Structure 1
């Protein structure tokens, strides 16, 4: 049978997740991977989760093993509101402002479903978090890609593009700006307080929504914590996305959408057609964990470990790449990632074949764009490799760069 003739336009637009394909190599013997942005499994509170899981199944099975509401477990939403009040000073919420999702990826898919049509516009960072691009692509919107600077999106360019849409009479088709506010994936940078306030001003002026994705905000190693865009705007035109994947366990598959009650109602309708409800079991386990333990206190050892790994990685990059002109990288204050930029003429996707031979894995930067990519970039993650591998991997990365430059006849200037 010719299945091709039966496929929808949407599914034919979907491309394989290139990170998943590239990381298949990472399991080979001797490979050092800077690729996946996955937490170190040794940081998972396995004993505490095991005990709570047993208690929930034995004592609350009538709820935890049954269907639940689309909005999410009320116990979990209650605990999450308490957490936001305590750590984010967000005090304007009740349970109707929250919806639990099956991971942040479902939240992004719901955002696309609720807001985007083929004639819609949305602004995203350049580079963009791949999961967001994958979710939004299925709606086939018109993207406005805004370059990232060391302090976040270039808002001068955003304002210029908004003015242009306004002059063309299309501003009503502009739906939202999507931003990862803290320790950006893939770029590692953080949106400054000044830019957060200005983004809100632009949203009010041009009447659009801000989608604030903040999966890494709790993983701050250094520097001053900043109020969320949601907090600054009192949730009036900001939708906050969060997840338990980086602070508890990705296997629980729990994300959270926080927003205006009317928007949440629409998102509930979209979610009903996707999965009816997220796992009641993992939601109740998470709720009881938060009830019994202070989630942010529990992750302090994890933050300490990641900071030590980040420091080691930055030291290793300086040792092996620091003498190269036109090579730069982000020095993050938190999160899981750094972003390396090589000289013009380098193509990190093409260079990936040499990297595999050297047994070092990174994610080529071109995977993080919805339009013309910058091919001389790469995302690297420091959270999973050992301290020894962070050193050795940086050394292998230097060897990879040198061999690629020699093969392509590209100059490598020494400072």
Structure 2
């Protein structure tokens, strides 16, 4: 059988994730600055184990059974309390929330719900790989908005929106996808004035704002900023996840938004998986009943802060003499973004990196248009401090070897 002839157009557009492939590399000598994998020592495993045992024994009629597509109302109610306490988001009820299998499913469902081949959507350049893969399956037209040190270039976006408006296509612009805090992959945070400007543009051109905020609770320094959702709840969909602050193994994501939008997304979820696992939802719900999730991750934040500060110090020491190099020092989250001088191709250089036993994510993975080949993402959350030190030495060796092979002056 010729499989290619049997595949759908959607299937043919799907590409393997470079990050997933990197996670499959099992060489024990390899140091990885690759995937944004939380440090397992930060998981509250003893508390989760106790709760899991209890909800299986005492609530098996719910936890071992099918659940509703919308999700466990006890978990929703607890998360509503968390949003009110820590995010100043109020006036929600359970119909404003949908529980998904991680935030990646939420991104996929957004694509199913809002995008088709005639649609436009706005995304950052570079873009989070998971969002790119989810949206690309719908084959929309992307408006790739350059990312600056304080978030998207909204002047560029406004010009593109006005162009669509003059062409009579503005109704086809469905949403703007924004990672407001500690962008993946770039590490930048959108400033308060730009958040207000996003709302202004959304009102003017009548589009949905998709605010993805998986890292917002992981702030190491600087002032906490109000969410875009809190500024415009009537036209914003807020995505969140338990993966970075509790455990990725629970596979719990959340969609918060206007009831009519949440209902439509929930309808798409019915066809995808019927429901999110009842067991992990109830574990999450009982955990939130007993513990303040945000207060509980303060030790985790301290661990990541120390690792981030160490990595940034070493970037300065080990790479700072390279002419034309740039990097982002994030205020939180899990990543930094490095731009090497022109002439570097970090995907091509990756073969040397594997020989030197150091992994990073080549920047080409984070574009839906022509990529900037001289970029890379480094994650500091998983490796130990000792491995961060050794890994930065290996990264410099990798860069030096590549430059020598290509005749590049650094």
With the shorter chain as reference, the TM-score category is over 0.9
Partners of 1:13 and 1:333 in 2: how far apart? 35
Match of 1:213 in 2: 212
Deviations 1:388-411, CA, capped at 9 Å, x for gaps:
111111111111111111100111
Shift of 1:7: 1.2
Partners of 2:12 and 2:74 in 1: how far apart? 40
Partners of 2:65 and 2:386 in 1: how far apart? 46
Match of 2:113 in 1: 114
1:410 is the counterpart of 2:408 = yes
Match of 1:24 in 2: 24
Deviations 1:14-56, CA, capped at 9 Å, x for gaps:
111122223433x213111100101000110010000000110
Deviations 1:206-250, CA, capped at 9 Å, x for gaps:
0000000000000001100000000111x1111000000000000
Match of 1:364 in 2: 362
Partners of 1:228 and 1:297 in 2: how far apart? 19
Shift of 1:284: 0.3
Match of 2:321 in 1: 323
Partners of 1:174 and 1:87 in 2: how far apart? 32
Confirm or deny: 8 A CA contact 2:22 2:35 kept in the other structure.
no
Q: How many residue pairs align between the two structures?
A: 410
Shift of 1:266: 0.6
Match of 2:68 in 1: 69
In the TM superposition, 1:117-128 aligns within 5 A as 117-128=116-127
Partners of 2:185 and 2:3 in 1: how far apart? 36
Match of 2:382 in 1: 384
Match of 1:5 in 2: 5
Match of 1:103 in 2: 102
1:36 is the counterpart of 2:49 = no
RMSD: 0.7
Confirm or deny: 8 A CA contact 2:175 2:209 kept in the other structure.
yes
Deviations 1:313-344, CA, capped at 9 Å, x for gaps:
11111110112221111100100000000000
Partners of 1:288 and 1:21 in 2: how far apart? 34
Match of 2:265 in 1: 267
Structure 2: which 5+ runs fail to align? none
Match of 1:160 in 2: 159
Partners of 1:4 and 1:386 in 2: how far apart? 44
Partners of 2:237 and 2:334 in 1: how far apart? 23
Match of 2:179 in 1: 180
In the TM superposition, 1:340-355 aligns within 5 A as 340-355=338-353
Structure 1: which 5+ runs fail to align? none
SS in 1 for 2:24: helix
Match of 1:249 in 2: 247
Match of 1:171 in 2: 170
Deviations 1:143-190, CA, capped at 9 Å, x for gaps:
010010000000010001001101111001000000111000100110
Shift of 1:2: 2.5
Partners of 2:5 and 2:305 in 1: how far apart? 52
Confirm or deny: 8 A CA contact 2:34 2:379 kept in the other structure.
yes
For normalisation by structure 2, the TM-score amounts to: 0.99
Match of 1:149 in 2: 148
SS in 2 for 1:380: strand
1:228 is the counterpart of 2:230 = no
Deviations 1:50-73, CA, capped at 9 Å, x for gaps:
000011011111111111110000
1:51 is the counterpart of 2:50 = yes
Match of 1:276 in 2: 274
Deviations 1:87-140, CA, capped at 9 Å, x for gaps:
001012111100000000110011001100100000100000000011001100
Partners of 1:95 and 1:20 in 2: how far apart? 34
For normalisation by structure 1, the TM-score amounts to: 0.98
- Point out the more displaced range, 9-18 or 279-288: 9-18
Partners of 2:180 and 2:194 in 1: how far apart? 10
Partners of 1:265 and 1:177 in 2: how far apart? 20
Partners of 1:382 and 1:58 in 2: how far apart? 38
Confirm or deny: 8 A CA contact 2:19 2:361 kept in the other structure.
yes
